[in-house]
Structure 1
Amino acid sequence: MPTPKYRFISLIYKDLFLNTNAARNAGFPLSTRRATGCGKALSACFLLLLPAFAQAQDARAQLDAAAQQQVAAELKSAAQKAGWKGMTFTVDNNLPNSLGKLAACPNEPQLRLLETPATVTARRRFEASCAGQSGWPVSFISQPRVYLPTVVASGAIERGQTLDAAQLKLAPMEIGKSSRGYFTDIAEVTGKTARRRLRADQPLTPALLDGALLVRRGQQVRIVASQDGIQASAVGESLANGKQDEVIRVKNLRSQKIIEAKVTASGEVSSIF
């Protein structure tokens, strides 16, 4: 008895269905062959590669940690010598891409500076070595960024105004970007005068300030006169503001004479003959 036509069609679909299932369970890339070995489970193959990835990560992590430690020690030593207080820093290491193929060093890698940095904030060129290991030494760049609390204006300060502590505050600043200098102590700035108008939160530099006023107009001052080893003093009145070593006009309150005198200290001038 001949097989009905619809039974041939059913057998074709059945074969197609079985082959499709085989393909769905195949290894990567897709194949019509049944998966065996590593292709049977892609995740198993990936797990075999993890130790190599771990080694690459370890080599990179080793160099990053070694550079962080060495640069941090240098910065802390420099801060102690300079008397810096409240210093913070970051260290950015530009590690080469070749570390992805480099096995980790069994021991700690040894770092050597290839050149002495010009300043504490300058970048450093390191060579890292690992005795007996192929692929070493490795060179890379390390860039520290150092931040210090520096003196800034707490509000607007007008030109010619004498600064007092209430007008100043400390704020962190990256000192490597401050080519014009900075102050780290409010006491260093108190009493100085602004050469131009200062805006709020503006970092103060030596170029923005004049020396402190040691004598003010209308203030009583001590006039000191010296000649041939003999020194005499008198009370006077300042007729102008004066900073260190400036020559101003002063009235002798006893003789009422007006003389020129050089500012030598706070509230004191020296007569000029």
Structure 2
Amino acid sequence: MKLNSFYQDSVRKVKQYFRLAVFVFPLLLTTGFCSQIFTAAATEESARKQIYAAVHNQAAEMIRHEGKRRNWRDYQAKINIFIPAEASGFAACGKTPVASLPGGDRVDLHRLRFDVHCGDGQGWDVVVAVKPDIYLPVLVARKTLDRGHVITADNVMLKKYNITNTRGEYVTQLQDVVGLTVKRRARAMQPIALSQLESPVLVERGQLVVMMAEQNGVQAQTMGEALKKGRKGEMIKVKNESSKRIVSAIVSGRGVVQMVQTSEE
């Protein structure tokens, strides 16, 4: 009986030890596995934060510089940064990563790309794309303006618009558009581009114009007939009413031209 009791007690202790071992061993494995996951996640987050900070600071500085150069007023900027998935495998950089433009100092706010370099012993390099959204008050048409319309101050208004979608074609100053003629339809509440506008015709073909001339500080004027329509600064042919000579002249105002040379036909 004693021998049998001793045997049963020994078997019971072995079973308890085995159950404990079965519980502890998976726990140790699981704890080690989770530790590796947390370590990798922390490394990834750190590297990505470093990349984000380097690119964001560089992009923000470029936008501030462009805003000062172009005299932007009351603008707001949102910097969208796209870090490639490969950065997930990067270890945190022992030095502050450096972000630079591949093309040197040339800035294209519609298509920014930065080379980010980690300069420590196990350094890495990555290319990061940036799409800034820059909201700036620009001139828009209050209503659709058709071709040939001469713009007045009442035709336009300032509205905040994302200028990165305009490919650089926008106007912020009223005096830059008033008096110009629409050569390509301007849609209502859309930014007006200077490429849609042109100087108005100041001289019509067949119109009687004042011909101005100056020589040795002495000014003279006569009348002539414009042989071609013209805008300010354009050169046209004009026939002198008195001499019947045809001369070249530059349109300088409404119904006024400045003679530059004379020739007989």
- Using the TM superposition, give the Cα deviation of residue 36 of structure 1 relative to its aligned residue in structure 2, in angstroms: 1.9
1:129 paired with 2:128, answer: no
Map of 1:142 onto structure 2? 129
- The counterpart of 1:68, out of the listed 28, 35, 56, is 56
Percent pairwise identity:
23
CA separation of 1:51 and 1:107: change in aligned 2, threshold 3 A: same
Q: In the superposition, relative to structure 1, how do residues 38 and 150 fare at CA in structure 2: closer, same or farther (>3 Å)?
A: farther
| Contact kept in structure 2, 1:192 and 1:213, CA below 8 Å | no
Q: Distance in 1 between matches of 2:102 and 2:231?
A: 48
Residues of 1 paired with 2:215 and 2:72: CA distance? 45
RMSD: 4.5
By how many angstroms is 1:231 displaced? 1.4
Q: Match for 2:118: what amino acid?
A: S
Report 1:1-273 matches (<5 A). 34-36=22-24, 39=27, 46=34, 49-116=37-104, 118-121=106-109, 122-132=111-121, 134=122, 136-145=123-132, 147=134, 148-171=136-159, 172-175=161-164, 178=167, 181-212=169-200, 224-226=212-214, 229-232=217-220, 243-244=231-232, 245=234, 263-265=251-253, 269-270=257-258
Moved more, 189-198 or 203-212: 203-212
TM-score (norm 1): 0.63
Runs of 4+ in 1 over 6 A off after TM superposition: 40-45
Quick check: 1:156–1:198 contact (8 Å CA) kept in 2?
yes
CA-CA distance at 1:189 after TM superposition = 0.9
* 1:137 shift after superposition: 1.6
Scaled by the length of structure 2, what TM-score is found? 0.65
**Alpha-carbon separation, structure 2, partners of 1:165 and 1:38:** 78
Q: d(CA) in 1 for partners of 2:101 and 2:251?
A: 51
Shift of 1:224: 4.1
* 1:157/1:194 contact within 8 Å kept: yes
Specify whether residues 86 and 246 from structure 1 end up closer, same or farther in structure 2 by C-alpha distance, changes over 3 A only: farther
Distance 1:173 1:212, change over 3 A: farther
Specify the SS of the correspondent of 1:187: helix
- Once the two structures are TM-superposed, the CA of residue 266 in structure 1 deviates from its matched residue by 6.3
Question: Whole-Å Cα distance in 2 between the matches of residues 210 and 114 of structure 1?
Answer: 37
Distance 1:182 1:37, change over 3 A: same
1:199-235 residue CA offsets vs partner (Å, 9 max, x unmatched): 212332233211146689xxxx987454564214699
Aligned length, in residue pairs: 233
Call closer, same or farther: CA 1:202–1:113 in 2, change over 3 Å. closer
Distance 2:200 2:95 in 1: 58
